[in-house]
Amino acid sequence: MAEAAQKIELCNAADVDEGSAIKVETGDFILAVFNLNGAYYVMDDICTHGPGSLSEGFISGETIECDFHNGAFNIKTGEVVEPPCMIPQKTYKTIVEGDKVYIEV
């Protein structure tokens, strides 16, 4: 039997300025929450390539560039855009309800 999805509250939508990201730690998750033109996207904050924190990276369009070795991922899909990253970043189903941002896991 499929387990019901769990909704986890991350932050207020207003906490994330357009075109930026914040880091949110909750339970076992360390996440980067992005606001691209008012749409919210969430992925693991720790780069799959090393210790880089993607919430501190550089956003360009739909791409987040890690500030550690300058690898890059697509913010919406987590796919690798630039090496040296090889492993896609895990992304989460993101929901905005009221003024809060949630992920479903």
Residues sharing a CB contact under 8 Å with residue 98, sequence separation 6 or more, in sequence order: none
What distance in Å separates the CA atoms of residue 24 and residue 31, rounded to the nearest whole number?
5
Rounded to whole angstroms, how far apart are CA atoms 3 and 61?
35
* Residue 80 contacts ligand FES per CB under 6 A: no
- Considering only 13, 23, 29, 68, the residue that binds ligand FES (CB under 6 A) is 68
Instruction: Give how far Cα 36 sits from Cα of 7, 17, 51, 83, Å.
Output: 21, 9, 24, 23
Least Å from the CB of residue 63 to ligand FES: 13
Residue 50 touching ligand FES (CB under 6 A) = yes
**CB of 48: closest distance to ligand FES in angstroms?**
8
Is 52 among the residues that bind ligand FES (CB under 6 A)? yes
Q: Count residues near ligand FES (CB under 6 A).
A: 11
49 binds ligand FES (CB under 6 A): yes
